[in-house]
Structure 1
């Protein structure tokens, strides 16, 4: 079954506009095959209990997304779905197959129906994974639905693994980012994510859903003669991951330089964006290269046009020292532990910001026209040691379904207190879904609400709902 929708479009101009379509990947069997000895190599912080993660956590996420984005698929089905998981499985005939809550595995299965694409993609995957020729021929002859599962899980069947799983595929944000009506594809920092990047490139360039946008898909190039660079130093490689990219307003993009995105990657992205006249300004935010942060969306995300959730200890760092030119702004090793912020504007001199809060206030006022002071909700309510503890479990990594309606983990108690103090309604997702089902509430009527999602297993993977979403279409903020 080919997923298609003539009304679908790519159009993202903010982090908070009403969400209309996004790309996700539901937890697959590969997550249940991560072993402690390889967890860090595969970029997973811990091993998870797969059934709990699926049934008691991620399934709630899918239900909630469908109620907001594609209610015809879910309305009146809550009791039934509690007993039957086939609704969530992309390889099952009862799968929801939404063209608003789009499952990556379905798109992969669709393109593998084409013999030519299947042969090319099998050859590419086998080259990355070092497969022998006979296995390559076997994979070419594998039915598309099964082949998609193999590519993602790394397993031929329940008993035979042929290469590593790609458990980070649930963090679909990192695969790319919609910038207005373009897609900027990622360039991952770690080898463990190379297969993800390859699969997503094939999907965006070959799936009928994106055929109208093929000319609007941009790939980050390597620097000239990159193959002559010495060693494997991450700082010198050209890398960019979606967790470090935020489309904050129609003409303004933020790029983070972090553990996973290099200054070279930011440079190449800026060139692409300006050459294609996609935005007028790009702000580069360099944060410490620490596992504590990893991407900028683990440090701050937007809640409303005049409100952000942030880690206070990192948001108020000292002013950076100015250097010349995009590639050299962040060269001073002495400033390694302090955020540095430079805004590049077409035809104008670069501009610096003292700290993250000053940048976010500037965005709220200049990009959104907000009056008065910008409000900040702090991780752990800015109380030691809960600020760092709760940031580690993604208190700052929230997904806005619409302005002021955000999803977060239920474990970050002090951050929840901070939301309450700022006038937000707090509700658990199971209670909210029941109210939707009973027609006691309408998803579109919600305002200033923090929806708490179960998180015992999901939080072990070190990523929140901002990480687990790749918005493809948001309504404009007016």
Structure 2
């Protein structure tokens, strides 16, 4: 930590003598007990999924794109390799290397950087993982992750979803997440094929921007040299629901902002698509996304505020085991403005199989 933060050697010696709990607080807060700041705090640590993710019985350590998150990665690596909880999994921790091209001009070129953040890694079935190429995850990062997952027999399929490289989207879990076996929530503008409007002269005056399109390529461990493509995210998610999860019901899509402009993009920015499934069909979301909430109602979901749900659970009026098809709403305050959806702020260790 002292090396990556550029601390003095004298300060390093002082920190070596610290109590373990105090040292941990210092690493996270960036401040000593007397409140003097020695390096920046790491508030992004609340987005735990970005620095590590469990895939079956393996742990994939990620490589964040921003230098500000290097300390988080180092701390997470230390936890996974040293904490008693993960003792039996130390030989199953996967670390993403840099490609050999990176060493030609290290630090000068970003083209060959291997970056991968957990918001771009989505486990959709025991043998299938989605990896997003986005503003934060590079193609080289996805490439190295695919090789690691196949070489270690972690999964059979990896599908790469290349979304537009822009801050609005950041990770794939900001534009779609799973609600239940046959239900997904997503942003319509990146999901459907958008044909050119022939009545708009601008479409003939400027070249189309490939960065604004979504590409989907699926790799299979048995024959990785023959990847499969999907024409849209809906086609991919329907394939997952029907073939991976064996759904016997039609696949449903609940669109951000109820698919209506400008609410679709506006509510996506405040994490309408970034939901966390506590169990099949029971998801956490923010109460500010009114049109998306309306879309959930239209699709037969109950809507409940978290405060009311807690009261009902404590009084025995509701049983957690019997709750189905429910969107649980929480206030977001400043979290949603920092791309802080529920999916981002979680790090599942064990998952129930659907």
> When the two structures are superposed, what TM-score results if normalisation uses the length of structure 1?
0.69
Q: Which residue of structure 2 aligns with residue 363 of structure 1?
A: 240
Could you say if the C-alpha distance between residues 234 and 419 of structure 1 is closer, same or farther in structure 2, counting changes exceeding 3 Å?
farther
Could you say if the C-alpha distance between residues 438 and 277 of structure 1 is closer, same or farther in structure 2, counting changes exceeding 3 Å?
same
The question of 1:391 aligning with 2:268 is answered yes
In structure 2, how many angstroms separate the alpha carbons of the residues matched to 1:434 and 1:234?
A: 51
RMSD (Å) for aligned C-alpha atoms: 1.5
Q: Which residue of structure 2 aligns with residue 144 of structure 1?
A: 20
The question of 1:226 aligning with 2:125 is answered no
In structure 2, how many angstroms separate the alpha carbons of the residues matched to 1:317 and 1:291?
A: 21
Instruction: State the secondary structure of the residue aligned to 2:21.
Output: helix
The question of 1:437 aligning with 2:297 is answered no
Could you say if the C-alpha distance between residues 232 and 285 of structure 1 is closer, same or farther in structure 2, counting changes exceeding 3 Å?
farther
Contact map agreement 1:176 1:183 (CA 8 A) in 2: yes
Contact map agreement 2:99 2:112 (CA 8 A) in 1: no
TM-superposed deviation, 1:299: 0.4
The question of 1:183 aligning with 2:59 is answered yes
Q: Deviations over 1:278-327 (max 9, x none)?
A: 111100000111000000000000001100000011111369xxxxxxxx
Q: Deviations over 1:116-138 (max 9, x none)?
A: xxxxxxxxx00000000110011
Could you say if the C-alpha distance between residues 383 and 264 of structure 1 is closer, same or farther in structure 2, counting changes exceeding 3 Å?
same
Q: Which residue of structure 1 aligns with residue 343 of structure 2?
A: 466
5+ residue gaps, structure 2, are 196-207
Instruction: State the secondary structure of the residue aligned to 1:268.
Output: helix
In structure 1, how many angstroms separate the alpha carbons of the residues matched to 2:249 and 2:85?
A: 42
Could you say if the C-alpha distance between residues 231 and 253 of structure 1 is closer, same or farther in structure 2, counting changes exceeding 3 Å?
same
Contact map agreement 1:318 1:339 (CA 8 A) in 2: no
Instruction: State the secondary structure of the residue aligned to 1:474.
Output: coil
Instruction: State the secondary structure of the residue aligned to 1:302.
Output: strand
Q: Deviations over 1:198-240 (max 9, x none)?
A: 0000000001110011111110111125222366554421011
In structure 2, how many angstroms separate the alpha carbons of the residues matched to 1:454 and 1:368?
A: 32
Contact map agreement 1:318 1:354 (CA 8 A) in 2: no
Contact map agreement 1:234 1:262 (CA 8 A) in 2: no
Could you say if the C-alpha distance between residues 315 and 158 of structure 1 is closer, same or farther in structure 2, counting changes exceeding 3 Å?
farther
Q: Which residue of structure 2 aligns with residue 338 of structure 1?
A: 213
Q: Which has the higher contact order (CA 8 A, sep 6+)?
A: 1
Contact map agreement 1:318 1:355 (CA 8 A) in 2: no
TM-superposed deviation, 1:460: 2.5
Contact map agreement 2:297 2:303 (CA 8 A) in 1: yes
TM-superposed deviation, 1:392: 0.2
> When the two structures are superposed, what TM-score results if normalisation uses the length of structure 2?
0.93
Contact map agreement 1:189 1:234 (CA 8 A) in 2: no
The question of 1:457 aligning with 2:334 is answered yes
| Structure 1 segments of 4+ aligned residues over 2 angstroms from their partners | 229-236
